[in-house]
Amino acid sequence: MNTGGALLRPGDLLVIAAGIALTAATAAAQWGRAAPTVAQVRLDGRIVAELPLNGSHRVAIAGALGGLGDTVIEVQPGRARVAADPGPRQYCVQQGWLSRSGSVAVCAPSHITLQLAGPDGGTDTVAF
């Protein structure tokens, strides 16, 4: 059935165009998420602080390890991080700056989470 036509036939261009469109649409949907506007700090799952991401400030929060020191959340325009935490392994501190809507830093020993949320509420999926 080999019809030795041209290397590229009309339908080929159509399929390639559809592929480009699909790739671009997926990229826009996955990566073009709205910029985060607020950092939510939760203690035991309840929001204890909502910090707008349009200024620079630091907030100290007493977590479950309160006797060992506070958890310090630092906010700069467009991003936030856990600057200090009394937890033994420092995972949430080492995670560094969060700048994408929906990203989370969990300080499990302190029962504190820091999450960025966008204007649309932000939470996409959280699975533990």
Summarize as ranges the residues that interact with other proteins (CB under 8 A). Answer: 1-16, 19-20, 22-23, 26-27, 30-31, 124-125, 127
Which residue, 15 or 108, has its beta carbon nearer to other proteins?
Answer: 15
Which residue, 9 or 57, has its beta carbon nearer to other proteins?
Answer: 9
| Minimal distance, residue 14 CB to other proteins, in Å | 7
| Minimal distance, residue 118 CB to other proteins, in Å | 16
- Rounded to whole angstroms, the Cα distance separating 79 from 112 reads 18
